[in-house]
Structure 1
Amino acid sequence: MTQDLTLYAMPSSGNSYKVQLLLGLLHRSYRQVDCENASSALAQARAAGALPLGKVPALHLADGTILSESGAILWYLAQGSAFIPADPLAQAQMLGWMFFEQNRLEGVIAVRASLRCYPERAAQATPERLAALLEDGHTLLALLDAHLAGRNWLVGDAPSLADIAVYGYTHSSGSRGGYDMDRFPAIAAWCARIAALPGYVPLQVPA
């Protein structure tokens, strides 16, 4: 398949990773432009207009159209695939989890990880803020774990965009965010199922 897609991505970002993961699961070929956090490449991409909303991920299509926002990109790429359920109710439930991830989970899990992993944000990583994010994150992860108990996927009987979106930051919340994932066995089993899917690609964390 020709490389008709170019993805501007931050390798360490869960939002970029969601798109990379779906592309892998769909076995889609693409070209990637790495724009790591605080890098000159990111600044250059912004200056060149490659990131219309000023952030990654951004997917460039063959006709010059640029798509922004990870959820919108996932929706576009998954059209016609099994990752979008056919049933309207299941679609709504899938979107509900995608909105939950962006509106609640990312603002806690991803923020704590960024404070711990990016040196330029160390000044914002006060003990009080880290403690609050830890408590809030454990609460949200417990909610997710309870939903996954007794089921394989977030919605229905097959993996959907909901699983890909929520997995993006959740799977590294222990290693990067410092959350106690031993508390959440259902999440661990779910993460293992996703990692076993054909075409799975891991998060690219710079050394």
Structure 2
Amino acid sequence: MLKVHGDVISGNCYKVKLALHLLDKPYEWIAVDILKGETQSEAFLAKNPNGKIPVLELEDGSTLWESNAILNYLADGSELLPTEPRLRTQVLQWQFFEQYSHEPYVAVARFIKRYQGMPQERVEEFKVCQARGYKAFKVMEQQLSRTPYLVGDRYSIADIALYAYTHVADEGGFDLGGFPAILAWLDRVASHPRHVTMAG
């Protein structure tokens, strides 16, 4: 059986969990507490030398890491990953966008506000994260005002990648009230019959 080493409050780990549920693949969840330094243990570093979650452990004991890479592995050959080259590349485009223009700001703002309680030394960083996070949401809003999902009219791992932290953006102090297309998309994603919540 597949094993997921992760933390339930991590959006990057939630991506893997959500994909597994959508694909109806059984798995075992192995909790890892990053705040206690568990990702830096010798045993964990043997699974991911980069010392980060999530890690997907395959049946043969080999491991995959980086959440969006894991999504591509899991979704290969499924309805969640288009086979047509242009569409498949657009999925990758949104995954790169998520890791470079979205997650570093939306997820970090959430961490500073929710998990660290806004320490004074990170207030200026939080403000930067807010500004750049809203910029990312504007890019998403433009696309989602044209198409129901990020890559046309089909739910894909591009949506999973960006749903993970967008749906908890309020925990990072973001107000999505001015982004009606994003709000409609969040409802659309959550309405999938095999959807699972972050803590579910």
Please report the TM-score for the alignment, with normalisation by the length of structure 1: 0.89
Determine the structure 2 residue equivalent to 1:115: 112
The answer to whether residue 105 in structure 2 is matched with residue 104 in structure 1 is no
Q: CA deviation at 1:136?
A: 1.7
Q: In structure 2, list runs of 5 or more residues that go unmatched.
A: none
Aligned 8 A contact 1:173 1:179 in 2: yes
2:198 is aligned, of 185, 203, 207, to 203
Report Cα offsets for 1:65-121 as digits up to 9, x if no partner: 100100111011111101111210000111000000001101111111111122388
Q: How does 1:4-83 map to 2 (within 5 A)?
A: 4-39=1-36, 41-44=38-41, 46=43, 49-83=46-80
Q: Distance in 2 between the 1:47 and 1:10 partners? A: 13
Residue 154 of structure 1: SS of its match in structure 2? coil
Higher helix content, 1 or 2:
2
- 2:101–2:133 CA contact under 8 A, matched in 1: no
Q: After TM superposition, give the deviation of residue 133 of structure 1 in Å.
A: 1.6
Matched, 1:161 2:162: no
Which amino acid counterpart does residue 86 of structure 2 have in structure 1? L
Judged with a 3 Å threshold, the aligned counterparts in structure 2 of structure 1 residues 37 and 47 are, in CA distance, closer, same or farther, namely: closer
Counterpart position of 1:188: 183
Map 1:122-141 to 2 at 5 A: 122=119, 124-126=121-123, 128-141=124-137
RMSD: 1.9
Structure 1: gaps (5+ residues): none
Question: What is the SS of the residue equivalent to 2:137?
Answer: helix
Q: Closer, same or farther in 2 for the Cα pair 1:48/1:62, shift >3 Å?
A: same
TM-superposed CA distance for 1:172, in Å, is: 0.8
Structure 1 residues 6, 184: CA separation in 2 closer, same or farther (over 3 Å shift)? Answer: same
State how far apart, in whole Å, the 1-side matches of 2:84 and 2:45 are: 41
Q: Which amino acid aligns with 2:58?
A: L
Instruction: Using the TM superposition, give the Cα deviation of residue 44 of structure 1 relative to its aligned residue in structure 2, in angstroms.
Output: 4.5
* Bigger shift: residues 179-188 or 144-153: 144-153
What is the aligned-residue identity percentage?
37
Partner AA of 1:181 in structure 2? L
Deviation at 1:132, TM superposition (A): 2.0
Alpha-carbon offset, residue 139 of structure 1 = 1.7
SS of aligned partner of 2:109 = helix
Of residues 19-28 and 139-148 in structure 1, the stretch that sits farther from structure 2 once superposed is 139-148
